[in-house]
Amino acid sequence: MRTRATSASVAVLGAGHVGAAIAHTLVLQGIAERVILHDRQRVRAEGEAWDIDDTTPLLHEGTVLPTDDYRDLADSDVVVVTVGANIKAGQSRLEVLGQNADLIRSVMGELDNVSREAVVVIATNPVDILTRIAIACSSRPEHQILGSGTVVDTARLRYRLAATLGVDAEDTLVHILGEHGESQFVAWSSAAIGSIPLASFPLPSGMSLAQIQADCETATRRRGADIHTRKGYTSYGIAAAVCRISTSILRNEGRIFTVSARALPEYGIGTEVALGLPCTIGRKGVARRLLLKSTVGLRSRRWCWRRPTAHCHSKRAVILAVP
């Protein structure tokens, strides 16, 4: 017998690889009873929506509505933004910033007109900067705007670490913080397996903790690029991450995710910076921004946002230029 999806409405902007994967996952998991798939090319939205809609008789009661009209998003509880230029082979996320920033400003203007109560989840890259731009240009409360941050990076790390240690990934408690990109880092000092600190957990024979940490960090940092090289894009991992965030919003779960949100002043990197840091996520979006107690590892990395390196300087310059 088919199950009834959660009585909620989630809109997805952009019917490309990521948008379609998110819409499909929303239906597959029964997260929302009504999914709206918006694309400026209506026929593209129709093709993806109709294909997904054909699965509903076998899965859940629900509907997938294709549209190119923002007014159809009026009753949405959550709006996921995936529109933007695709990152080509060899490009960095920052290289598509200019084009995608203009799109985000335009999209937020439309959403403020038709769906002011919805929580907006940004999934377009570079996600941290675009989340900050969305916050700056929108008239809705800041807590109703967040980015996918390092949620998928954290999932990748947990999977790798769990496989190495021979435990369930759900018992692997560790987070990746900072940028969804090359400067991300792992909060190893707070890592635990179940209730046991990672530093005290028995390791596989012949492996040191330092070796395991280095291998996991390298593999996690390269994972997105490795997938992109082979298939031209990533979609399923980010779709699962966004849908998990959306579930926490719709069900008011208060789960902790490292979403893109403005940093607390206590981090000492400036409140104009948005990056992946732990937040509790509920019905109104970001319920609380949590302060991660400084460790040696965090202190040594958090100042990269102020160092005059080419990467960090360019990113900070863009953030400071946000109107």
How far apart CA 57 and CA 144 sit, in angstroms, is: 33
CA dist., res. 118 & res. 98, Å (int): 26
d(CA 48, CA 52): 6
Closest CA to 150 of 172, 134, 117, 126: 126
180 is catalytic: yes
Task: Report d(CA 45, CA 68) in Å as an integer.
Answer: 8
Beta bridge partners of 11: 36, 79
> Residues with Cβ < 8 Å from 311, sequence gap 6 or more?
94, 182, 183
Q: How buried is residue 219: exposed, middle or buried, by Cβ count under 10 Å (0-12/13-18/19+)?
A: middle
Contact 258, 244 (CB under 8 A): no
In whole angstroms, give the CA distance from residue 316 to residue 305. Answer: 7
Q: Give the whole-angstrom CA distance, residue 322 versus residue 134.
A: 10
Q: Kindly state the greatest CA–CA separation across the chain.
A: 60
Which of 17, 24, 143, 180 is the catalytic position? Answer: 180
Encoding tokens for residue 14?
A: 């952009």
Residues 154, 119: Cα–Cα separation, whole Å: 22
Cα separation, 148 vs 258, whole angstroms: 8
End-to-end CA distance of the chain: 52
Active site residues: 180
